């Protein structure tokens, strides 16, 4: 049997304030996990009906919103508008420029989900914005053994392939594992990756590293092409996220991520001047914020 990747680091994601009246547990993006190339940030967000993330810009990366409970509305300056609910996915490529708002549906008591930021390679940073949206029932599942269900949000698992196109090669898998089960997941040798625990306890790798809720567990980068995950006396729910490192300079200033300080300077100039992708930002205000 091939060796499993092991866990290098476990970091607890403590809740913090973000946006307007929102609480997030930041995973990637914390001081201990500033960047995990190609991933810039992962937040587990929890927002009541009066909170949210009002109008704000992005450039140079992708935001992936995956709902766990409740409903979230989205509106951008190009007229794109929609709602995603439990189990639904929005994969937004900001590219050269997006200004948008993300707010909970007011009839909901809670909006709970994950938002992942994926860096774009230099050649795609100024691409045209794009959306890929999938309802829960449009996301394929793998069931390698009884009691293990894997939603294949991006990439591949046990022969099941996602329809999501990833400019930065990425796998994003949602695991629900019943107690006393074991599963082995393949990961390309060159990928970096991590597990973010949502619920329960999982045992990862040949040495059964213990992963508990709200912890980020980063994988070893030893060329191993599988990771073994088991449960014992309780169920577990977690996401496994991995991708091809870009190995490019990262210069981030809030919602803008480029390759140099000079590019960041020009991004601010474009945003303030309403040009080079931000033409529609002038005088735009969302109707949902």
The percentage of the chain sitting over the pLDDT mark of 70, rounded to a whole number, equals 100
Average pLDDT, the chain: 96
Per-position DSSP letters for 126-177, written without gaps between them? TSPPEEEEE-GGGS-EE-SSTTEEEEEEESEETTEE-----SS-EEEEEEEE
What number is the average pLDDT over the span 172-181?
Answer: 98
Contacts of 196 (CB under 8 A, 6+ apart): 13, 27, 42, 44, 114, 215, 216, 217, 238, 239, 241
Q: Does the pTM exceed 0.85?
A: yes
Closest Cα to residue 189, out of 247, 244, 144, 119?
A: 244
- What pLDDT is recorded for position 1? 60
In degrees to the nearest 10, what's the CA dihedral of 132, 138, 140, 146? 140
Which positions make up the binding site for Fe cation?
56, 58, 100, 102
Query: CA separation (Å) from 233 to 112, 239, 282, 287?
Result: 26, 20, 56, 48
The 3-state DSSP class for residue 265 equals helix
Give the model confidence (pLDDT) of 38-72 as tens digits: 999 999 999 988 889 999 999 999 999 999 999 99
What number is the average pLDDT over the span 169-197?
Answer: 98
Interatomic CA distance for residues 250 and 167, integer angstroms: 17
Q: What six digits make up the tokens of 55?
A: 């109008």
Give the model confidence (pLDDT) of 93-137 as tens digits: 999 999 999 999 987 778 999 999 999 999 999 999 999 999 999
- Exposure on the CB side of residue 147, measured as CA atoms within 13 A: 14
Which positions make up the binding site?
56, 58, 100, 102
189: left (phi over 0), alpha (psi -120 to 50) or beta: alpha
**273 phi/psi in degrees, rounded to 5:** -90, -5
Q: What six digits make up the tokens of 114?
A: 């994950």
- What pLDDT is recorded for position 22? 84
The percentage of the chain sitting over the pLDDT mark of 90, rounded to a whole number, equals 91
């Amino acid at each position: 049997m091939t060796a499993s990747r092991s866990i290098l680091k476990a970091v607890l994601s403590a809740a913090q304030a973000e946006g307007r009246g929102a609480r997030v547990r930041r995973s990637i993006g914390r001081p201990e996990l500033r960047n995990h190339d190609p991933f810039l940030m992962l937040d587990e967000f929890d927002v009541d009906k009066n909170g949210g993330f009002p109008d704000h810009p992005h450039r140079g990366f992708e935001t992936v919103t995956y709902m766990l409970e409740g409903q979230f509305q989205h509106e951008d300056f190009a007229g794109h508008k929609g709602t995603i609910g439990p189990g639904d996915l929005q994969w937004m490529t900001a590219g050269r420029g997006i200004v948008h708002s993300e707010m909970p549906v007011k009839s909901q008591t809670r909006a709970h989900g994950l938002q992942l930021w994926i860096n774009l390679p230099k050649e795609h940073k100024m691409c045209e914005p794009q959306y890929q949206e999938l309802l829960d029932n449009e996301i394929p599942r793998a069931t390698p053994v009884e009691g293990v269900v894997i939603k294949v949000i991006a990439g591949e698992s046990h022969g099941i392939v996602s329809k999501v196109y990833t400019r930065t090669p990425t796998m994003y898998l949602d695991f629900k594992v019943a107690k006393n089960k074991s599963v082995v997941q393949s990961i390309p040798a060159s990928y970096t990756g991590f597990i973010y625990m949502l619920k329960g306890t999982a045992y990862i790798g040949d040495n059964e590293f213990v992963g508990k809720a709200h912890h980020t567990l980063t994988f070893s980068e030893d060329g191993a092409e599988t990771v073994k995950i088991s449960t014992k006396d309780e169920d577990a729910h977690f996401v496994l996220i991995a991708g091809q490192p870009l190995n490019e300079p990262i210069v981030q200033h809030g919602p803008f991520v480029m390759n140099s300080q000079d590019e960041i300077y020009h991004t601010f100039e474009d945003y303030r001047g309403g040009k080079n992708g931000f033409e529609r930002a002038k005088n735009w205000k969302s109707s949902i914020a």
